[in-house]
Amino acid sequence: MNSIFLIIGIIYFFGFLLTLITILLEKIYKNKLNIIPKEYKDIYVLLPALKEQKIVTSTIDWFKQVQYKGKIKFVIITTQKEEMEYKNKKIKTPTTNQVVNKYLKQIKDERFIHYHYPKIHGNKSSQMNFAIKLIQKNYKPDSKKTYISVFDFDSQPELNTFDMLNKVSLLKNNPDAINQVPLCIKNYYECSKNKIIMLLYAMHHLIRSCSIEKFKLLLSSLSNLKIPQYCMGACMHLKMSTLLENDYFPIFVDDLTLGYRMSIKGNRFAYLPTYNYSLIPNKLLDYCNSATLIFKGISTYLTEIKNTKKHLWGKIKMFTAGTGNIIVFTIIPWMLVVYYIYSIVTKNLNFTFYLCFSIPYLWCIASYIIIKINKIKDKKINSFLAFIISPIWFVFRPIGFLMYFKKLLLSKITKKDIVYKKTER
């Protein structure tokens, strides 16, 4: 048993180490991108929106600052689902659709397009697929020279994101997916005033963003390796022809499932070295609701393996990566908590215990370095308190899986579809 936890400790130590290594690898990669473009890809930026009234103006104002020499369109997609919900509840607050319409008339920026998904059934993928079909009809883009970018509506990517996207596409000969890594620290300062648990979430989330997502993308970009990946729903950029070949966005989970599908088929991924700063959830319940949907997405790797014909080696790699992902999220965190308690009670405080117990602290140190590199302010005393209680995050990490499993079980019993809650801002 001790040897199992020693292996876990060593593997998790690499989470700390790889987070720091990515800082160096990113510098090497950026030097390779020091090229002057001779051509510019067409880019359509999809911004699907549901109940985003509070941040419509701030989101549009942010993207309005983007300067890109090529053709770029920012496509805001609202949905009739929201209109129906507000009508049924008889709420007088303007809908996202109404707020977007009003504000776009004020700014008069022709780069912004507003499409309204006319059905009350469907989800984010339905909205985006609807928009892509309209883009094809109205603009007739060359799908091999066009990228479809997707951002969550609360996103604020660095303003040079699309220039860097163009450079990556030139350097890597039009990769199928160019993934940008989201850093969940946009409201870190606000959270650091009184939401210590959510600070802890942010620091642990950064480790996954950097040591796993970012590291795999950098390896793919600095070599010819094809490593199983998933797409980042908060900030993914897809060659339009590849997206069409993969049957648009999967209807349930647009990012994870699409990434699995592309990985199995051997599509090429590359790293976009600009950051997208996204929001830390306001409270633990919001995290749990979000994690429930994420676990649904994670589980779809099995369906993609089953449904994909041929590509045996791709299926083997995806099965290994997907199963490892499930274990890391669901089993190992509580194993570590039990191991901590058992070792302290039995006073079996050996090297393996200290290695495993140091992991969450090392993760926080690496994450805090990333936070400071990105010049994010914080209330240092509360960041320190989050650091002190760091091991308890392993208790919360599998909660999303349990909530998903509960919803899945109830849906089987009641024969009704699972209802996933939208995180309200």
- Say what percent of the chain tops pLDDT 90: 72
Residue range 224-235: average pLDDT? Answer: 88
- Confidence band, pLDDT 50/70/90 cuts, at residue 422: low
Q: How far apart (Å, rounded) are the C-alpha atoms in residues 43 and 146? A: 6
pLDDT in tens, 69-86: 999 999 999 999 888 877
Domain 2-330 has CATH 3.90.550.10: yes
Question: If you ran DSSP here, which 8-state letter would residue 422 be given?
Answer: P
Q: Which residue has the higher pLDDT, 130 or 194?
A: 130
Are the C-beta atoms of residues 177 and 238 closer than 8 Å to each other?
yes
- Confidence band, pLDDT 50/70/90 cuts, at residue 253: confident
Average pLDDT along the chain: 91
Q: Domain spans of the chain? A: 2-330
Record the pTM. Answer: 0.87
**Which pLDDT belongs to residue 332?**
93
Q: How far apart (Å, rounded) are the C-alpha atoms in residues 251 and 230? A: 16
Contacts of 50 (CB under 8 A, 6+ apart): 78, 79, 81, 82, 96, 124, 422
pLDDT in tens, 148-190: 999 999 888 999 999 999 999 999 999 999 999 989 898 999 9
